[in-house]
């Protein structure tokens, strides 16, 4: 990136110019900035000389922004918002004994987050960490409402109005109990048969359910719901008991596959993959603890055995 052109306008003067536009006069802007009107006028004249533009029209009834002044104030507003965000982030980096509120979808919270938090504690033992769990939609709302500083979700697409970073792809698999008739079949389960079969599913808003629904919808199908359960653990228990098939993260069913209580059934025609991603508020700088956790999440991938 090229160095900034010289001379660089004073940021306080740009802030003052924005206030003149918002408040309607130099006097009102000076009061808001707790400086005298002559000092405000001097700053604004200096800003005009630096920029080489006439920013204010001075009349007997007062001063108002010119067209050039209006445009400059609009650009300055964006610059100042980014500056305030940066200063808030820098202040957070200086904070000792900071707090970190995390939101995570069920799969991430149960099968990945414990190792991440252990590594985070090794980096900063003084960090006070809290974790809230929910489905993908709920975690996105936690981030938007600033109940958490960073969230980890799964799904086919990032939520709107939030910044996101893709971490890794998570494979979903069709699983049944060891006694299910599908275990003895030789052919793969086709998409139409899967859609016609009552399935054990998570609630709406779950990333797992969203991926399955989107994959089937792409070929004009939709899943049938046998039972709707609020956690992967509950679904695994119901499938193991012989209730019916389910589509779950391969990461979540590792222990059951190794013990033989669940069996993966090959399927055809649809791809069941989702992206695990980190999300945070647009315009909000991540704190030091959130940055450290994000670094860990990018480097420490889950082990699927």
pLDDT tens digits along 197-217:
999 999 988 989 999 999 999
Domain count, the chain: 3
Quote the percentage of the chain above a pLDDT of 70: 96
The CATH number assigned to the domain holding 125 equals 3.40.190.10
> How confident is residue 1, by pLDDT bands cut at 50, 70 and 90?
low
Boundary (domain end) residue, out of 65, 94, 123: 94
pLDDT at 97: 52
- Average pLDDT, integer, range 42-63: 86
Cα 189 to Cα 63: distance, rounded to the nearest angstrom: 75
Whether 59 is covered by a domain: the verdict is yes
Whether residue 39 lies inside any domain: the answer is yes
Same domain as 155, residue 118: yes
Claim to verify: residue 233 and residue 147 sit in the same structural domain: no
3-state secondary structure of 108: helix
Same domain for 250 and 202: yes
5 assigned to some structural domain: no
> Looking at residue 56, which CATH number applies to its domain?
1.10.10.10
Instruction: Tell me, yes or no, whether 17 and 111 share the same domain.
Output: no
CA 282 vs. chain centroid, Å, equals 9
Indicate if 185 and 117 belong to the same structural domain.
Answer: no
Identify the band that residue 103 occupies on the pLDDT scale cut at 50, 70 and 90: very high
Does residue 140 sit in the same domain as residue 62?
no
- Report in angstroms the alpha-carbon separations of 133 from 105, 204, 213, 284: 6, 15, 22, 22
Tell me which of 94, 124, 150 is where a domain ends: 94
Compute the mean pLDDT over every residue in the chain, rounded to the nearest whole number: 90
Tell me: pLDDT of 95 over 60: no
At residue 291, the pLDDT reads 93
Q: Same domain for 261 and 281?
A: no
pTM over the 0.75 mark: no
Nearest to 137 by CA among 151, 150, 118, 123: 151
Confirm whether 156 is domain-assigned.
Answer: yes
Is residue 6 domain-resident? no
Local confidence band at 150 (pLDDT 50, 70, 90 cut-offs) = very high
- Give the residue from 94, 121, 156 where a domain finishes: 94
In angstroms, the Cα distances linking 136 to 60, 139, 253 are 59, 5, 19
Q: Which of 1-5, 100-104, 269-273 has the lowest mean pLDDT?
A: 1-5
- Same domain? For 260 and 284 the reply is no
Instruction: Identify whether the C-beta of residue 225 lies closer than 8 Å to the C-beta of residue 201.
Output: yes
86 and 214 assigned to the same domain: no
- Residue 179 predicted with pLDDT over 80: yes
Domain residues for the domain of 143 are 99-164+276-299
The region of weakest confidence among 22-31, 87-96, 142-151, 222-231 is 87-96
Q: How confident is the model at residue 246 (pLDDT cuts 50, 70, 90)?
A: very high
Q: Please tell me the predicted confidence (pLDDT) of residue 304.
A: 62
Confidence of residue 124 (pLDDT cuts 50, 70, 90): confident
What average pLDDT does range 126-149 have in this prediction?
A: 93
Q: Measure the CA–CA gap between 15 and 19, rounded to whole angstroms.
A: 6
**Do residue 269 and residue 175 come from a single domain?**
yes
Lowest-confidence range among 2-16, 120-134, 173-187?
A: 2-16
Higher pLDDT, 283 or 242: 242
Decide if 20 is inside a domain.
yes
* Residue 129 maps to a domain: yes
For residues 152 and 173, state if they share a domain. no
Strand partners, 150: 102
Q: 87 pLDDT band (50/70/90 cuts)? A: confident
Q: Does residue 214 lie within any of the structural domains?
A: yes
Same domain, 139 and 229: no
Average pLDDT over residues 116-124: 93
């Amino acid at each position: 990136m090229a160095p900034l052109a010289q001379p660089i306008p004073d940021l306080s003067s740009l802030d003052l110019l924005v206030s003149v536009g918002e408040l309607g006069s130099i006097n009102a802007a000076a009061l808001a900035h707790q400086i005298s009107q002559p000092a405000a006028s001097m700053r604004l004249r200096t800003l005009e000389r630096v920029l080489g533009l006439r920013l204010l029209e001075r009349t007997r009834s007062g001063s108002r922004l010119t067209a050039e002044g209006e445009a400059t104030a609009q650009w300055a507003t964006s610059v100042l918002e980014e500056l305030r965000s940066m200063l808030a982030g820098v202040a957070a980096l200086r904070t000792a004994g900071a707090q970190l509120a995390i939101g995570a979808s069920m799969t991430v919270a149960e099968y990945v987050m414990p190792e991440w938090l252990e590594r985070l504690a090794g980096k900063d033992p003084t960090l006070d960490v809290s974790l809230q769990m929910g489905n993908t939609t709920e975690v996105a709302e936690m981030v938007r409402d600033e109940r958490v500083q960073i969230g980890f979700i799964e799904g086919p697409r990032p939520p709107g109005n939030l910044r996101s970073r893709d971490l890794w792809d998570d494979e979903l698999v069709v699983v049944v109990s060891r006694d299910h008739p599908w275990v003895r079949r030789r052919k793969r389960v086709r998409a139409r048969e899967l859609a016609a079969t009552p399935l054990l599913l998570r609630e709406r808003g779950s990333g797992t359910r969203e991926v399955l629904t989107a994959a089937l919808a792409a070929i004009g199908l939709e899943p049938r719901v046998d039972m709707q359960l609020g956690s992967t653990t509950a679904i695994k228990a119901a499938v193991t008991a012989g209730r019916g098939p389910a589509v779950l993260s391969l990461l979540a069913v590792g222990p059951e596959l190794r013990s033989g209580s669940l069996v993966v059934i090959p399927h055809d025609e649809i791809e069941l993959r989702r992206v695990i991603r980190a999300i945070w508020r647009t315009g909000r700088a991540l704190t030091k603890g959130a940055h450290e956790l994000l670094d860990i999440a990018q480097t420490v991938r889950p082990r699927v055995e």
